[in-house]
């Protein structure tokens, strides 16, 4: 599902023409709300903490994630505070995912490592699984990355998380290999960092 042009049009206008060297000297901000068809993406607020806890506190939902299970509302409030800090200091940040009726389904976003490279991921509540939402979110983040001038968008995936690997492949990510003993998955109970697959989407024409 292509990203709705409302929201990204302003970012495109702010970016304008230019070489990659231009991107290093100019910050183009992502919109804080995006309409991607069946789903709406928006910057989290403190009022969302309870909804975030509903999926962030589910052990099955958070199994493959790099952040720990939310055990109380304080953990979800801390997530919102972290999201605010990211949005305040970067050109993009975390998005809360809702359906057209406003029900919170999960989260996604872009982590801008520098103007030309970013990383992404997603998490969805269990009742949102199996409906194609993950593919729509991953595709939306690649389109947003392109609008912001990102050349390389990365995603990490646990080797056993084949559902997410399939999603990444569907939207143009390529598996580049395995990073050995690289990532801590706090909800798997492992002792130390584990191997993780590195996937990357490269902006066309680069």
Q: Which residue would you say has higher pLDDT here, 126 or 16?
A: 126
Q: Which residue would you say has higher pLDDT here, 1 or 121?
A: 121
Overall average pLDDT of the 196-201 stretch: 98
Task: Identify the pLDDT of residue 28.
Answer: 87
Residue 110 belongs to what domain range?
Answer: 5-151
Overall average pLDDT of the 39-52 stretch: 98
Instruction: Write the pLDDT tens digit of every residue in 9-38.
Output: 555 555 554 434 333 445 689 999 999 999
Statement: residue 62 has pLDDT above 90: yes
Statement: residue 104 has pLDDT above 60: yes
For residue 19, what are the contacts with CB-CB under 8 A and spacing of at least 6? none
In a domain, 144, yes or no: yes
The Cα–Cα gap between 21 and 116 comes to: 10
Overall average pLDDT of the 172-186 stretch: 98
In a domain, 175, yes or no: no
In a domain, 36, yes or no: yes
In a domain, 10, yes or no: yes
In a domain, 196, yes or no: no
CATH assignment of the domain containing 115: 3.40.630.30
Q: How confident is the model at residue 1 (pLDDT cuts 50, 70, 90)?
A: very low
In the chain, how many domains are there?
1
In a domain, 180, yes or no: no
In a domain, 165, yes or no: no
Q: How confident is the model at residue 205 (pLDDT cuts 50, 70, 90)?
A: confident
Statement: residue 97 has pLDDT above 60: yes
Task: Identify the pLDDT of residue 109.
Answer: 98
In a domain, 32, yes or no: yes
Task: Identify the pLDDT of residue 179.
Answer: 98
């Amino acid at each position: 599902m292509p990203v709705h042009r409302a929201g990204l049009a302003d970012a495109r206008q702010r970016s304008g023409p230019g070489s990659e060297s231009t991107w290093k000297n100019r910050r183009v901000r992502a919109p804080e709300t995006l309409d991607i068809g069946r789903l709406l993406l928006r910057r989290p607020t403190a009022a969302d903490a309870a909804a975030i806890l509903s999926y962030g506190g589910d052990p099955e939902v958070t199994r493959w994630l790099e952040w720990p299970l939310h055990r109380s509302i304080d953990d979800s409030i801390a997530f919102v505070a972290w999201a605010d800090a990211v949005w305040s200091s970067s050109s993009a940040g975390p998005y809360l995912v809702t359906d057209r009726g406003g029900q919170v389904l999960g989260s996604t976003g872009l982590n801008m490592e520098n103007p030309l490279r970013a990383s992404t991921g997603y998490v969805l509540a269990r009742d949102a699984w199996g409906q194609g939402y993950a593919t729509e979110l991953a595709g939306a983040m690649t389109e947003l990355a392109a609008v912001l001038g990102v050349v390389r968008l990365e995603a990490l995936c646990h080797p056993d998380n084949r559902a997410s690997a399939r999603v990444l492949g569907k939207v143009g990510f390529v598996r580049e290999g395995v990073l050995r003993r690289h990532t801590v998955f706090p909800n798997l109970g492992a002792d130390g960092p584990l191997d993780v697959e590195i996937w990357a989407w490269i902006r066309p024409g680069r």
